[in-house]
Amino acid sequence: MKARLRRLLGTPLHPLLERDIYLSHRDLPEVLDRYERGDPFFLYTGRGPSGEVHLAHLLPFELSSYLQQKLGVEFWVQVTDDEKFLFQGALSLEETRRLGRENLLDLLALGFDPKKTHILFDTASIRSLYPLALKVAKRVTYSTAKAVFGFTPQNNIGSIFFTAIQSVPAFLPSARAGRPVPCLIPCGIDQDPHFRITRDVAEPLGYPKPALIHNRLLPGLSGEEKMSSSAERKDGVIFLNDPPEEVDRKLSRAFTGGRASVEEQRRLGANPEVCSVWALWRSRFAPDPKEFAEITRTCRSGELLCGECKRRLIPRVQQFLGEHARRRADVERWVDSAIVDGPPGGTA
Amino acid sequence: MKARLRRLLGTPLHPLLERDIYLSHRDLPEVLDRYERGDPFFLYTGRGPSGEVHLAHLLPFELSSYLQQKLGVEFWVQVTDDEKFLFQGALSLEETRRLGRENLLDLLALGFDPKKTHILFDTASIRSLYPLALKVAKRVTYSTAKAVFGFTPQNNIGSIFFTAIQSVPAFLPSARAGRPVPCLIPCGIDQDPHFRITRDVAEPLGYPKPALIHNRLLPGLSGEEKMSSSAERKDGVIFLNDPPEEVDRKLSRAFTGGRASVEEQRRLGANPEVCSVWALWRSRFAPDPKEFAEITRTCRSGELLCGECKRRLIPRVQQFLGEHARRRADVERWVDSAIVDGPPGGTA
C-alpha cells in the first residue's frame, strides 16, 4: 500500500503515512483506482467541539491538507456542535457553537484551499444536512444504534438520532452532484464504529460506501494511551493556544521511554515505542526523514538522553504554535464564507 | 368555560365551540387570563402530509382561523414532512414535501391573515427548528419516548427523535421574542399524548407550558369512529378535491342513525349521535343555530328521513368545496413567503 501511495503522492510520503501513524484502512485501493481513472474523491473529516484543540486533533486534518495539496481534491469538514451539546451534559449549545468556530480556525490553519473547502457546521448547515439525515435515519433502527454505540434507555433521543447527522457528509457531495462521488474519511482508529452505520446504509441509499483511513492514537504526555483533554489532568495535552512557558513545563515533565538512571540508559538505551516525546517527533516535529532516523537511532543506542531530547523538541513545538497562531488569523478571513448555508447565528 | 368564551368572542360562538366539538382543554383559562391582561397568545397546529386533506383535517384550522379573526393573534402551522417520511414506510421524502405544500393550500384556504401566519415546513425550516429541538431532545430519554409512544427496538432512530421537532413550534415564538409568549394548540383529542412531552420539557427550558384545546373526532362516512384516509376504504372520507359527483355518491351511501324501515323511523325517530351525516351538519354545514336545531329536532322526531337529510346536505358540501378551490388559488400567492427560512427546494 505504501509503495502505491509513493507512486501517487511522491517520495518520501508525508510522515503520517511513511511512519505508519496511519495504520489501517477500509477500501482505500478502490478509491485510488477510481482516482487514477480520472474520478476524483473528496475528503471528509470532523471535529466535535467540546474544548480547545490539541496536537492529537491535528492528525486527520494534517493528512487531509497534504492529500488536498498533492491531489487537488475537495475537503469537507463537519463541526458537530449538536453532538457535543447532546452528549456532554454540562455544555450549552451556545458554548459548543462558540467552540466550534474557534476550533475551525485552529484546524484549518494547517493549510487548506479556501476554494475547495466546505464546512458543515451542524446547527448552521442543518438545512442541507437534514433531508439526507432523515433518509439515513429511516434505515437505522434503535436496535442497530444500540448495538454499535451501547445506548441505554437513559440516553437522550437526540444522541440516538445523531449518527444519522454524522453520516450525511459522506453522501452530500454525491447528492449535490447527482452522481456517485467517492469519499475518503481520515479519522482516529477509535472513530471507526461511528462509520460502520454510514457504510451499511450507503448502498441501499444509492451512494458509494465511504473509504476510511485510520490513524493510531497520539499518546498523552503523562503516559496515557491517548492524548485526550477529557482526562482529569490537562498536563498530558499540548493545546494549540498553550503559551511557550506551558509547552516548556509540560514537555519537560513528559513521560518517556528512558531508564531509571543515566548510567543505565547509556548502557541499555531507551525505548521510543512507549515514549510520548518520540511520538511527537514521529508525528510532525521531525519532518526530515534523516533527522527522525537519527533521533530514533540515538535514543535506542543510549546516546541521546531524554533531557537533551526534550530540550531539542521544546523550541520546535513553540515555533510551530507561534506560526500556527499567525496562520489562524488568515483563516478567519474566509472561514465563514466556506460554511454551507452560512455562518451560525440567530436564536439558538 | 363556554360562558367565558362567549364574553370574549361574542355570541353565538363558532359551532365548533358552541356544539362541543371542542370538548376538553388543558390550561385554557390561564391563556385567556393573560390575554385579557394584554398579553396575546399565539396559535399552533400542524399537519402531517401523508395524503390529501379531508374534512376532518379542517377542524383545528377552522378553529384557528376563527380565533385569529376574533382576537388578532398570530398563527403558526407546522408541516411535518419529516414525520410522515419517517413513520410511513412507503412514502418518499420528495412525496411528503410535495403533499405538504398541496395540503397547506387546502388548509390555509379556510382564511388566515398572511401577515400573522408563519409556516414551519420541517425540512425547509429546519435551521430555525433544530437548535431548539436539540434542547428538547437533551431532556427526553429513550425510556420516556418509549413510554409515551410505545416504541420498540425496531423503530427507526428518526421516528424516536421526531417528538423533539414537534415540540419546537410551541417554544419558537418565545425564543424569538426573548420573553414568554403563551401558546394555544388546537388539535384532535388523539394528538394529546404528543404534547405531553412538550408540556413536560417547557418549564425546565424556560418556556410557558403550551395550552391545548381538543376536538372530538369526526366520524367516517362508513360508520368508523374516526374519519381517516388511512382506512382501506376511501369512501368514508370526503377529500377537499372530491368532484361533485363523488360527494353525491359518498354522502348518498353514508352511514346514518336511521331505522330499519321508513315506518319505524317515522314512529321512533332517528339517532343523530351515531350519524355521520349529522356530524357534518354539526361541524360546519349548518352554521345557523336555528337550522341546526331544526335538523336535530326533526331527525329525532322522525319527521326528517335520512334520504331527505342527505339530499339537503350534498349541495352544501359541493358548494363549500367549490368555493374552497377558489380560495386555495389566493393562498398560492402568499404561502411560500410565509414559510420560515424560505420554501422547500434543493437536494432532498
A167 and A293 fall within a common domain: no
Task: Inspect the interface and report whether the beta carbons of A130 and B142 lie closer than 8 Å.
Answer: no
**E strand intervals along B57-210:** 74-79, 117-121, 183-188
What is the span of the domain harbouring residue B58? 2-217
For range B310-322, the mean pLDDT: 98
Closest CA to A331 of A139, A106, A88: A106
ipTM: 0.93
A121 and A241 fall within a common domain: no
Hey, what's the cell of B94? 420528495
B10 and B102 fall within a common domain: yes
Nearest CA in chain B to A160: B157
A137 and A271 fall within a common domain: no
Examine residue B341 and state whether it is found in any structural domain, yes or no.
no
Q: What DSSP line would sit under A198-242, residue for residue?
A: HHHHHHHHT-PPPEEEEEPPPPPTTS-SS--TTSS-GGG--BTT-
- Give me the pLDDT at residue B347, please: 44
Q: Pick from B131, B139, B341: which is nearest to A127 by CB?
A: B341
Share of chain B above pLDDT 90, in %: 93
Which tens digit of pLDDT belongs to each residue from B160-183? 999 999 999 999 999 999 999 999
Residue A120 DSSP label: E
Q: Which of A183, A198, A220 is the C-terminal boundary of a domain? A: A220
Nearest CA in chain B to A176: B347
| Burial classification of residue B192, based on how many CB atoms lie within 10 Å of its CB (0-12 exposed, 13-18 middle, 19 or more buried) | middle
Tally of domains within chain A: 2
CB neighbours of A243 closer than 8 A, spacing ≥ 6? none
Q: How confident is the model at residue B346 (pLDDT cuts 50, 70, 90)?
A: low
Which tens digit of pLDDT belongs to each residue from B180-196? 999 999 999 988 988 99
Which CATH number goes with the domain that contains B275?
1.10.240.10
Beta-ladder partners of A185 = A212
Examine residue A155 and state whether it is found in any structural domain, yes or no.
yes
Q: How confident is the model at residue B230 (pLDDT cuts 50, 70, 90)?
A: confident
For range B73-90, the mean pLDDT: 97
For an interface test with A, the pick among B155, B156, B162, B200 (most A C-beta atoms closer than 10 Å) comes out as B156
Examine residue A192 and state whether it is found in any structural domain, yes or no.
yes
- Give me the pLDDT at residue B224, please: 87
Examine residue A335 and state whether it is found in any structural domain, yes or no.
no
pLDDT at B217 over 60: yes
A159 and A290 fall within a common domain: no
Q: Which of A220, A249, A283 is the C-terminal boundary of a domain? A: A220
Which CATH number goes with the domain that contains A88?
3.40.50.620
Q: What are phi and psi of B81, to 5 degrees?
A: -65, -30
CB count within 10 Å of CB A80 equals 23
For range B77-104, the mean pLDDT: 96
- Give me the pLDDT at residue B181, please: 96
A204 and A258 fall within a common domain: no
Query: Is the CB of residue A76 less than 8 Å from the CB of residue A118?
Result: yes
B6 and B81 fall within a common domain: yes
Share of chain B above pLDDT 70, in %: 98
Nearest CA in chain B to A172: B347
Q: Pick from A123, A158, A172: which is nearest to B137 by CB?
A: A158
- Angle CA(A98)–CA(A104)–CA(A110) in degrees, nearest 5? 155
Question: How does the average pLDDT of chain B come out, rounded?
Answer: 95
A161 and A23 fall within a common domain: yes
B211 and B299 fall within a common domain: no
Please tell me the distance from the alpha carbon of residue B76 to that of residue B315, in angstroms, as a whole number: 33
Q: A-chain residues within 8 Å CB-CB of B197?
A: none
Q: Nearest-CA distance from B75 to chain A in Å?
A: 20
pLDDT at B244 over 90: yes
pLDDT at B348 over 60: no
Q: Nearest-CA distance from B50 to chain A in Å?
A: 16
Nearest CA in chain B to A161: B157
Please tell me the distance from the alpha carbon of residue B298 to that of residue A325, in angstroms, as a whole number: 87
A127 and A42 fall within a common domain: yes
Low-confidence spans in chain A with pLDDT less than 70: 231-233, 346-348
A191 and A252 fall within a common domain: no
Residue in the block written with cell 415540540: B167
A160 and A60 fall within a common domain: yes
Residue B9 DSSP label: H
